Amino acid sequence: MRNTLNILDVGLEPYDRILDLQHQLVRARRDGLVEDTLILVEHPPVITLGRRGDEKNILVTEQWLADHGVEVRRVERGGDVTYHGPGQLVGYPILDLRQHRQDVGWYMHSLEEVLIRTLSDFGIPSKRLPGNIGVWLDEHRKIAALGVRIEDWITYHGFALNVAPDPSHFELVVPCGLVGKEVTSMAAVSGSVVSMARVRERASRNFATVFGMKMRGIALADLPPVVKRGERTVASAQPDGTSCG
C-alpha cells in the first residue's frame, strides 16, 4: 500500500507564519504525529538568504525594501539569495526520507522531476542544468529554484515555481548568486494567463506520482493540536541540499 501524502494548500500567507508551520510539522513528522505533507503557498514579497547567502546579492537598499514592503529573512536552507512573491507557487515538502530514500541527491533530483513534469503538462519543455540545481529552459533561463533543509532525515523548505510573478522583482537580487542568468516564468514563456489553481493541481499530482504516494487534501484545522500551538523544533542536521530556492 502506498503511503499517504497530505496536500495542505494555504493560499497567500506571510513567510514567517509558514516557516513556523514548517518547524512545527518537522517535529510532528519526526515524532510520528503527522504523515508526509506538502504545503503549497504563495508569499507576499520577501527575499530570503540561505546559509551561504551573501547580502551583496541584494541589489537595493534596506530603506528601498522597507518603503516597498519587501521583507528580508535569513533562513536555514541551503543556497544563496532568492525572491518569493505573489504569482510564484512555493512548495514545502515535509517528508520522512527514512520512508523513501536517505539520499539527498535523489531527493533533489526528484523535486526537479516534479517541476519538469508540471511544466510539461502546460506545454513548456524544461530540463536540469549540470552544476546548477533547479529547473531551466536552457543554459541561461531559470524557471524554478530549489532550496532545502534536512534534519534527522525530515525535509523542509523546498521549491519555487515561477507561474506569473512580477518580473521586475527578480531585479532586486542576484538570484541564487548566479551572475548572467535570467529568471523567467510560465506566463512569460507561454505569453498567456496561466491558472495558478491548475498549476497547484498538476504539481500536487506529479509530486505524488514521482514519490509513489496517494494524495489527500487537508486543511489547517485537520492538523493535530501539537502543530497548532506554535511550538518550534530544533534538531540535529543531516547534510542538506545546498541549493538555492
* Count of all residues that appear for the chain in the document: 245
Q: Which residues are catalytic?
A: 176
Q: Which amino acid is at 222?
A: D
Angle (nearest 5°) at CA 58 between 164 and 90? 35
**Pairing of β 182-183 and β 141-151:** parallel
Measure the CA–CA gap between 223 and 221, rounded to whole angstroms.
Answer: 6
Angle (nearest 5°) at CA 235 between 160 and 52? 45
Contacts made by residues 16-21, CB under 8 angstroms, sequence distance 24+: 16/73, 18/43, 18/92, 19/73, 19/75, 20/230, 20/232, 21/227
